[in-house]
Amino acid sequence: MGWNAADIRREFPIFNHPVNGKRLVFLDSAASAQKPQVVLDAITSVYATAYANVHRGLYSLAEAATERYEAAREKIAHFIGATDPEELIYVRNATEALNLVAYAWGRQHIHAGDRIVITEMEHHSNLVPWMALAREKEAELAYLPVSDAGELDVTALPSLLADGRTRVVAFTLMSNVLGTIPPASELIALAHQAGAVVVVDGAQAVPHLPVDVGKLGADFLAFSAHKLGGPGIGALWGRRQILEAMPPFLYGGDMILSVKKHNATWNDLPYKFEAGTPAIAEAVGFGAAVDFLSSLGMEAVHQHEQALVAYALERLPEVPGLHILGPMHSQRGGAVSFWLEGIHPHDIASVLDAEGVCIRAGLHCAEPLHARFGLPASARASFYVYNTTDDVDALVAGLLRVIALLRR
């Protein structure tokens, strides 16, 4: 599928509906992306023609549902370069995936005096589970710092690895606030040389640029469907050897092979970690979303967003008193956060909403990062496949209106 922004935008029904009487300019895809028609059709088709519980039924409808559910798993695994679909576990979202690792792997392997290394740019989902684990196990939680320019300071890692106490290094593949793309290969190589396990939060990266777990080299990768145009479901990829050694995260139906009165044995991968009736239609919708992105080409998606970011970094400084957070170059993700002198981000978002422009305002689930920059909150515009330079122009025009209305 060739890149044509107008054609791609038409694939998303929501853009047929004005907001406050204005053309919808959706700039909050870092929080959750809009859904193309093919995803909506896939979900509806399951409920209308092929819905039954998976894995359990011996009748034709159940077999059809199971086939679609597992076919989606294969598509999603292929999308991230995984050669073994059984290493891909369905979860509710990336948050649950990261909690699964911290709980099921972390409780086995983190002990008093051990160290967990994360970064100052982490989303709370890749921070709070490790914080809770460190407190429970009396382990140390250490942070890799972020520079004034919004880049990750990798030079701090070797000293944290030198004493052999670091058991896990967890970091985001793309900051949801700064747009920063850290040097993942370098971080992973250093961590593995020290014998640490690497957990990567791919919630922002997987929807926006090519990700190949084989080339990446991490031990775990968490990501969500809803951020890449799919429904409310997510996935955890992990190395088979590590997953097989981990205990279950949840207990109940389908994650067991046998249950006696006083003991049970666990199912094989990936079902050991998929207790209960799963999100069947959502999994199929997940598969449809990765099909849609694959038809566009993830390298093309990344290039499109880099071009939009470059244009935004050129135009936003035209707004008086606007300060951009993060790297001032286009080799970054499509989230551009900023603050306006003398105007609270919540007020910015409210005025822009009246113009049909949707942005996020607040801490973006990254309170320590905002504290690092001395900010109580920020405004964030984030781009995706359906955005164009016209959307950036609308944002700038809306911000100029914000200033005209609110700055004294």
Residues annotated catalytic, as ranges: 365
Element (H, E) at 236: strand 234-238
Taking the C-alpha atoms of residue 357 and residue 274, their distance in angstroms, rounded to an integer, is: 39
| Whether the Cβ atoms of residue 295 and residue 2 lie closer than 8 Å to each other | no
Euclidean distance between CA atoms 269 and 263, whole angstroms: 19
Q: Measured between alpha carbons, how far is 22 from 354 in angstroms, rounded to an integer?
A: 8
Ramachandran region, residue 55 (left: φ > 0; alpha: ψ -120 to 50; beta: rest): left
Count of helices and strands (H, E) across the chain:
15, 15
User: Angle 57-63-69 (CA atoms, 0-180°, nearest 5)?
Assistant: 110
Whole-number Å distance between alpha carbons of 202 and 4? 26
Long-range contacts: 51-57, Cβ < 8 Å, 24+? 51/280, 51/281, 53/277, 53/280, 54/278, 54/280, 55/254, 55/271, 56/254
Q: CA-CA distance, 91 to 83, in Å (whole number)?
A: 19
CA–CA separation, 66 and 54 (whole Å):
5
b/e sequence 93-117, b meaning 16+ C-beta within 10 Å: bbbbbbbbbbbbbbeeebeeebbbb
Cα gap 117→367, rounded to integer Å: 18
